[in-house]
């Protein structure tokens, strides 16, 4: 492994005195931010602001890597710390800034402030894209695109010698090189959950997904010592909450995942604490193969309380079109597969749904709503189909002349960046609101909640937040926004819990606390649904956005699209 930067700098000293790492603010309401839930129910952070869901893991790893090269280094999450940026970076020689496209506004604001203060600016994270981020490319002194591990030392060496390049393009790092996060660089109390990354990559190749382009199809698994260290550190620093294993498909290599789960159980037995965990997995977790049955068993033992699954749609033609064949395997229906997973893992799940495939129509919306409402899954992330750069869908849309603009980087903002085939863009957006309202009305949501409460049962039922914090949240959920709704369904939750586990047992309290978690999420979903309706109702549409591609093609593309669209398509 080439480690030129490290060797040269180690023999000659530090790169500079002080570095500050910045995680910019998220401004827009997004599905996963759950900011309304966090603002209303959780205790405040150290600055008196609402907690955030998760810490900036990429920067925590970068922090650890950079530590030896500066006398002084600090990580600041701007979603947590409200102090003015100018003050925070006053003493810094180098400012590193990283994040995702959904942070674009905050990113550019901070980048501008850093440059105004005359500091050296280094940008990285999934936002960095030579083609779609021209302002950032202009503003930053140095940028790292893709994974940073294989190029970071070249950058450091360049900074040291004053000859660093403008853009470093990372390649897939071998797992032993993965940055290891340093959990001491954040105040864990500012977050609702902690995160760990164990693997990168996914063996599948769904047409719309940029994960494969980003991380490859071969699973790269961090050495066990990295994972063990992360869990030990979280425990050592007193973390007692949930841990999100952020891997894009934690079961990409099922045999290896079984081994990992066994090791997680061992280490947690040794430290005497079981973190409630959640992750992202593909639907083939329900397959009949023995290794999948083994996996489901170990998910339960390893105390997974939730898993996110990309179900995408009930439209079989759409699944074929998008190459999501793993969702079509076997004889079982999707509902049966989801039920089996919850029954055998004991954990609940969140599912992702996408609308806007070529074979989706306005008529298929009701089917989709009915399908979602027939499951036991309360938390459903619905998005309109987007074609991010570097995906096969992007290439196809470009080839077919349907691409209109860059994807927004927020897959649940009700926008599409290409012309849908069977419906117009306007119809797609209106149908999006219909879907949200169809699945987040009180009756259907709480029906799904009650189904979930009848199924979930992870092996260990302790280990969640401290009683004081839980009580604080519970009190707020039952006294603030929508509280009448939450009281109304509480008696059913109580009955289900009592019938399954007897009164006031651990199982009983587990079910009730899960019920309250769903209530808290509902506050966010309901507000997000309202917000999306307002957003979409306020949009205006050009002629070409009122027709599906199917018709536009028939009418003659050029005449309908007009010059404005042609300019933007050609520039992409």
Q: How far is the CB of 158 from ligand B12 (least distance, A)?
A: 12
- The answer to whether residue 125 forms part of the interface with ligand B12 (CB under 6 A) is yes
Is-contact 355 428, C-beta < 8 A?
Answer: yes
Choose the contact partner of 144 out of ligand SF4, ligand B12, none; CB within 5 to 8 A by kind: ligand B12
Q: How far is the CB of 381 from ligand SF4 (least distance, A)?
A: 12
Is-contact 76 23, C-beta < 8 A?
Answer: yes
Which residues, in sequence order, are bridge partners of residue 307? 279, 349
- Tokens 């749609």 belong to which residue? 313
For 483, counting Cβ atoms within 10 Å of its Cβ (0-12 exposed, 13-18 middle, 19+ buried), the class is: middle
- The residue among 302, 464, 274, 444 whose CA lies nearest residue 371 is 444
Angle CA 570–387–569, to nearest 5: 10
Choose the contact partner of 453 out of ligand SF4, ligand B12, none; CB within 5 to 8 A by kind: none
Choose the contact partner of 457 out of ligand B12, ligand SF4, none; CB within 5 to 8 A by kind: none
- The answer to whether residue 56 forms part of the interface with ligand B12 (CB under 6 A) is yes
- The residue among 129, 84, 127 whose CA lies nearest residue 107 is 127
Q: Which stretch binds ligand B12 (CB under 6 A): 295-303, 341-349, 393-401, 406-414?
A: 406-414
From the list 248, 358, 457, 514, which residue makes contact with ligand B12 (rule: CB under 6 A)? 248
- The answer to whether residue 59 forms part of the interface with ligand B12 (CB under 6 A) is yes
From the list 246, 385, 477, 525, which residue makes contact with ligand B12 (rule: CB under 6 A)? 246
Q: How far is it, in rounded angstroms, from Cα 499 to Cα 401?
A: 58
- Burial state string for 490-525 with b = 16 or more CB within 10 A and e = fewer than 16: beebeebbbebbeeeeeebbbbbbbbbbbbbbbbbb
Which x/- pattern over 13-52 shows residues binding ligand B12 (rule: CB under 6 A)? -------------x---xxxx-------------------
Q: Which stretch binds ligand B12 (CB under 6 A): 140-148, 320-328, 397-405, 456-464?
A: 140-148
- The residue among 122, 159, 150 whose CA lies nearest residue 9 is 159
Query: Which pair of tokens denotes residue 177?
Result: 């090189």
**C-beta of 211 vs 493, nearer to ligand SF4:** 211
Contacts (CB under 6 A) with ligand SF4, residues 293-312 = 310
Choose the contact partner of 310 out of ligand SF4, ligand B12, none; CB within 5 to 8 A by kind: ligand SF4
460 Cβ neighbours under 8 A, 6+ residues apart? 274, 303
- CB-hemisphere CA count at 13 Å for 248? 19
User: Packing angle between helix 442-455 and helix 425-439, nearest 10 degrees?
Assistant: 60
From the list 195, 227, 279, 282, which residue makes contact with ligand B12 (rule: CB under 6 A)? 195
Contacts (CB under 6 A) with ligand B12, residues 515-544 = none
Q: How far is it, in rounded angstroms, from Cα 466 to Cα 474?
A: 12
Which x/- pattern over 412-431 shows residues binding ligand B12 (rule: CB under 6 A)? x-------------------
Query: Which pair of tokens denotes residue 46?
Result: 């150290």
101 DSSP assignment = G
Q: How far is it, in rounded angstroms, from Cα 310 to Cα 334?
A: 11
**C-beta of 60 vs 258, nearer to ligand B12:** 60
Q: How far is the CB of 191 from ligand B12 (least distance, A)?
A: 9
- The answer to whether residue 348 forms part of the interface with ligand B12 (CB under 6 A) is no
From the list 6, 39, 49, 54, which residue makes contact with ligand B12 (rule: CB under 6 A)? 54
**C-beta of 227 vs 339, nearer to ligand B12:** 227
- The answer to whether residue 100 forms part of the interface with ligand B12 (CB under 6 A) is yes
- The residue among 529, 32, 525 whose CA lies nearest residue 278 is 32
Which x/- pattern over 362-401 shows residues binding ligand SF4 (rule: CB under 6 A)? ----------------------------------------
Q: Which stretch binds ligand B12 (CB under 6 A): 53-61, 314-322, 459-467, 478-486?
A: 53-61
Q: Which stretch binds ligand B12 (CB under 6 A): 330-338, 408-416, 449-457, 506-514?
A: 408-416
- The answer to whether residue 122 forms part of the interface with ligand B12 (CB under 6 A) is yes
- Tokens 């520039």 belong to which residue? 571
Q: How far is the CB of 516 from ligand B12 (least distance, A)?
A: 20
From the list 5, 61, 241, 254, which residue makes contact with ligand B12 (rule: CB under 6 A)? 61
Choose the contact partner of 306 out of ligand B12, ligand SF4, none; CB within 5 to 8 A by kind: none
The sign of the dihedral angle between the CA atoms of 364, 370, 374, 378 is positive
- The answer to whether residue 179 forms part of the interface with ligand B12 (CB under 6 A) is yes
**C-beta of 145 vs 457, nearer to ligand B12:** 145
Q: How far is it, in rounded angstroms, from Cα 20 to Cα 15?
A: 13
Q: How far is the CB of 278 from ligand SF4 (least distance, A)?
A: 16
- The answer to whether residue 210 forms part of the interface with ligand B12 (CB under 6 A) is yes
Q: What torsion, rounded to 10 degrees, do the Cα atoms 287, 290, 296, 302 define?
A: -150
3-state secondary structure of 186: coil
Q: How far is the CB of 147 from ligand SF4 (least distance, A)?
A: 16
Choose the contact partner of 147 out of ligand SF4, ligand B12, none; CB within 5 to 8 A by kind: ligand B12
**C-beta of 148 vs 474, nearer to ligand B12:** 148
Which CA distances in Å does 520 have to 26, 37, 60, 480? 21, 6, 28, 10
From the list 180, 190, 375, 410, which residue makes contact with ligand B12 (rule: CB under 6 A)? 410
For 380, counting Cβ atoms within 10 Å of its Cβ (0-12 exposed, 13-18 middle, 19+ buried), the class is: buried
Long-range contacts of 4-9 (CB under 8 A, 24+ apart): 4/153, 4/154, 4/157, 5/152, 5/153, 5/154, 5/155, 5/156, 5/157, 5/158, 5/160, 6/153, 6/156, 8/157, 8/160, 8/161, 9/69, 9/156, 9/157, 9/160
Contacts (CB under 6 A) with ligand SF4, residues 187-246 = 202, 204-206, 209, 211-212
**C-beta of 185 vs 209, nearer to ligand SF4:** 209
The site for ligand SF4 (CB under 6 A) is made up of 202, 204-206, 209, 211-212, 248-249, 282, 310
The site for ligand B12 (CB under 6 A) is made up of 26, 30-33, 53-59, 61-62, 96-98, 100-102, 122-127, 144, 147-149, 179, 195, 197, 210-211, 246, 248, 409-412
């Amino acid at each position: 492994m080439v480690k030129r930067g490290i060797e040269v700098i180690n023999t000659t000293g530090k790169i500079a005195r002080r570095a500050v790492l910045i995680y910019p603010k998220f401004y827009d309401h997004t599905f996963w931010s759950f900011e309304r839930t966090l603002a209303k129910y959780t205790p405040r952070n150290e600055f008196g602001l609402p907690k955030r869901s998760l810490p900036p893991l990429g920067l925590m790893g970068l922090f650890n890597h950079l530590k030896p090269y500066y006398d002084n280094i600090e990580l600041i999450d701007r979603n947590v710390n409200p102090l003015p940026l100018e003050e925070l970076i006053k003493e810094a020689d180098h400012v590193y800034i990283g994040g995702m496209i959904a942070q674009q506004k905050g990113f550019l604001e901070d980048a501008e402030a850093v440059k105004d203060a005359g500091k050296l600016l280094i940008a990285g994270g999934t936002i960095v894209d030579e083609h779609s981020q021209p302002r950032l490319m202009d503003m930053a002194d140095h940028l790292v695109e893709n994974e940073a591990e294989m190029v970071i030392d070249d950058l450091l060496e360049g900074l040291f010698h004053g000859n660093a390049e403008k853009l470093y393009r990372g390649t897939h790092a071998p797992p032993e090189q993965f940055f290891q996060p340093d959990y001491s660089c954040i105040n864990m109390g500012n977050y609702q959950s902690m995160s760990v990354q164990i693997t990168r990559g996914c063996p599948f190749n769904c047409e719309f997904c940029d994960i494969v382009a980003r991380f490859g199809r071969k699973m790269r698994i961090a050495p066990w010592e990295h994972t063990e260290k992360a869990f030990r550190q979280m425990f050592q620093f007193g973390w007692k909450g949930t841990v999100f294993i952020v891997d894009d498909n934690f079961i990409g290599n099922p045999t290896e995942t079984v081994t990992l789960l066994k090791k997680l159980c061992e280490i947690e037995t040794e430290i005497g604490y079981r973190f409630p965990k959640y992750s992202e997995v593909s639907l083939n977790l329900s397959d009949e193969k023995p290794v999948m049955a083994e996996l489901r068993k170990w998910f339960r033992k390893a105390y997974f309380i939730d898993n996110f699954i990309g179900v995408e749609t009930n439209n079989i033609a759409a699944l074929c079109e998008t190459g999501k064949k793993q969702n079509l395997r076997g004889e079982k229906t999707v509902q049966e597969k989801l039920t089996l997973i919850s029954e055998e893992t004991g954990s609940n799940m969140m599912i992702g749904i996408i609308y806007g495939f070529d074979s989706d129509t306005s008529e298929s919306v009701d089917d989709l709503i009915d399908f979602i409402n027939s499951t036991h899954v309360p938390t459903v992330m619905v998005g309109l189909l987007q074609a991010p750069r570097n995906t096969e869908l992007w290439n196809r849309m470009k080839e077919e002349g349907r691409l209109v603009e860059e994807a927004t980087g927020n897959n649940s903002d009700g926008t599409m960046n290409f012309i849908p085939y069977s419906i117009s863009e306007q119809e797609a957006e209106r149908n999006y609101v219909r879907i949200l309202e169809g699945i987040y009305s009180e009756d259907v949501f709480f029906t799904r909640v009650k189904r979930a409460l009848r199924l979930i049962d992870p092996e260990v039922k302790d280990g969640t937040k401290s009683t004081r914090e839980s009580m604080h949240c519970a009190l707020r959920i039952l006294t603030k926004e929508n509280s009448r709704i939450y009281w109304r369904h509480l008696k059913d939750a109580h009955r289900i819990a009592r019938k399954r586990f007897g009164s006031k047992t651990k199982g009983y309290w587990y079910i009730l606390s899960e019920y309250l978690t769903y209530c808290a999420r509902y506050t966010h979903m309901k507000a997000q649904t309202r917000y999306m309706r307002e957003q979409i109702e306020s949009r205006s549409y050009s002629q070409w956005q009122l027709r599906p591609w199917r018709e536009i093609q028939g009418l003659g593309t050029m005449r309908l699209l007009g010059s404005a669209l042609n300019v933007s398509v050609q520039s992409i």
